[in-house]
């Protein structure tokens, strides 16, 4: 009998996903303690199981060396930065993963964040709670130039939504998508030119050695003082210290961050700024997205492959 371990806390406490997984596999160990599993604790939890469902748990070579019986890891969620895929190939462990299953959830958060910052919603809300009643003059999203850095599943989902607002849409990606760009009126361009022209910049990249601090202090300085920056992708893509100085100095109008280099974030000064909208990594936390990600993970227990180079690209 195949034994399955579910390390993810949120999957383990979701009644629908539990029931659907148990309809496929009868021998399942859930993380009912609700503990964050890592290192020795994660190895102990997964030991003796043939397949596993993981989310934010770090899967590296040292862990896999402890688990010779583990043959499949199904990813609950879309990010793969927590998984050493080269180690999985060396150890013969297969990966079940579906990209983009939470794309609409993230896209809607980006749209709502852009509107909130353009209309000064965070600052206005704080003022009302503090007893101040005044109207803050904002700007519409309609007609703005929006730059998408990373045009994978989420970037491609976001572009037509922005079309509905009459936005000019720019995109930067290491790959070229001429048919998609032509169909949705997207203008591909280099990252520096995009930063110079966009009123709203939104990041949709994985976190790896090529994207760490991709928005460095130098690149941030290219943005318009009236522009806003949104990161609902991965922490570590932006020089947050440089961004804070720009927000304080009026060289950047606002920032909406759902992810941070350190989570939870520790820079209280940054979080307290009236032109900052901070959320606790909720991009995929819509009920519909959670079900889609969970069902993709269940399917991944049976439909999977070795994560060879070029496979499992977002």
Domains of the chain by residue range: 3-101+286-300, 103-278
Any idea which architecture 3-101+286-300 has in CATH? 3-Layer(aba) Sandwich (3.40)
Mean pLDDT taken over the chain = 94
Mean pLDDT of 95-101: 91
| Mean pLDDT value of segment 19-44 | 94
> Rounded CA gap, 189 and 294, in Å?
36
| Catalytic machinery residues | 234, 263, 281
Q: Do domains 3-101+286-300 and 103-278 have the same CATH topology?
A: yes
Task: Enter the CATH code of domain 103-278.
Answer: 3.40.50.720
Q: Which of 80-94, 165-179, 193-207, 248-262 has the lowest mean pLDDT?
A: 80-94
DSSP symbols for 212-252: TTSB-HHHHTTS-TT-EEEE-S-TTSB-HHHHHHHHHHTSS
CB distance 111 to 161 below 8 Å: yes
- Of all residues in the chain, the percent with pLDDT exceeding 70 is 98
Average pLDDT over residues 188-204: 98
Cβ-proximal residues to 262 (8 Å cutoff; 6+ apart), any chain? 235
Task: Report the pLDDT value the prediction gives residue 311, as an integer from 0 to 100.
Answer: 52
Q: Rounded to whole angstroms, how far apart are CA atoms 69 and 29? A: 15
The answer to whether 74 and 298 have CB atoms below 8 angstroms apart is yes
Q: Please, what sign has the CA dihedral across residues 146, 152, 154, 157?
A: positive
Tens digits of residue pLDDT in 49-83: 999 999 989 999 999 999 999 999 999 988 888 89
Q: State how far the Cα of 50 lies from the Cα of 131, in Å rounded to an integer.
A: 58
Q: Model confidence at 92, in pLDDT bands (50, 70, 90)?
A: very high
CB within 8 A of 289, min separation 6: which ones? Answer: 101, 102, 104, 105, 106
């Amino acid at each position: 009998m195949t034994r399955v371990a579910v390390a993810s806390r949120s999957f383990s406490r979701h009644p629908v996903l539990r029931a659907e997984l148990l309809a496929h596999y009868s021998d399942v160990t859930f993380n009912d303690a609700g503990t964050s599993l890592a290192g020795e604790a994660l190895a102990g939890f997964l030991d003796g199981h043939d397949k596993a469902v993981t989310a934010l748990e770090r899967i590296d070579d040292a862990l896999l060396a402890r688990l010779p019986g583990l043959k499949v890891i199904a990813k609950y969620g879309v990010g793969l930065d927590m998984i050493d895929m080269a180690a999985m190939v060396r150890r013969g462990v297969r990966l079940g993963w579906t990209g983009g299953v939470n794309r609409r959830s993230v896209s809607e958060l980006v749209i709502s964040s852009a509107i909130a910052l353009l209309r000064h919603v965070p600052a206005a809300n704080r003022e009302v709670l503090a007893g101040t009643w005044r109207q803050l003059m904002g700007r519409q999203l309609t007609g703005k130039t929006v730059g998408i850095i990373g045009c994978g599943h989420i970037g491609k989902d976001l572009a037509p939504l922005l079309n509905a607002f009459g936005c000019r849409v720019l995109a930067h990606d290491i790959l070229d998508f001429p048919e998609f760009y032509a169909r949705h009126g997207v203008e591909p361009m280099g990252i520096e030119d995009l930063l110079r022209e966009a009123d709203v910049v939104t990041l949709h990249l994985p976190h790896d050695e090529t994207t760490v601090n991709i928005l460095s202090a130098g690149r941030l300085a290219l943005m318009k003082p009236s522009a806003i920056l949104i990161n609902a992708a991965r922490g570590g893509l932006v020089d947050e210290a440089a961004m804070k100085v720009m927000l304080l100095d009026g060289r950047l109008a606002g920032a909406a961050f759902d992810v941070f280099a350190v989570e939870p974030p520790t820079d209280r000064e940054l979080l307290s700024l009236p032109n900052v909208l901070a959320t606790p990594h909720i991009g995929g936390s819509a009920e519909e997205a959670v079900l889609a990600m969970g069902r993709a993970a269940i399917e991944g227990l049976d439909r999977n492959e070795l994560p060879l180079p070029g496979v499992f690209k977002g």
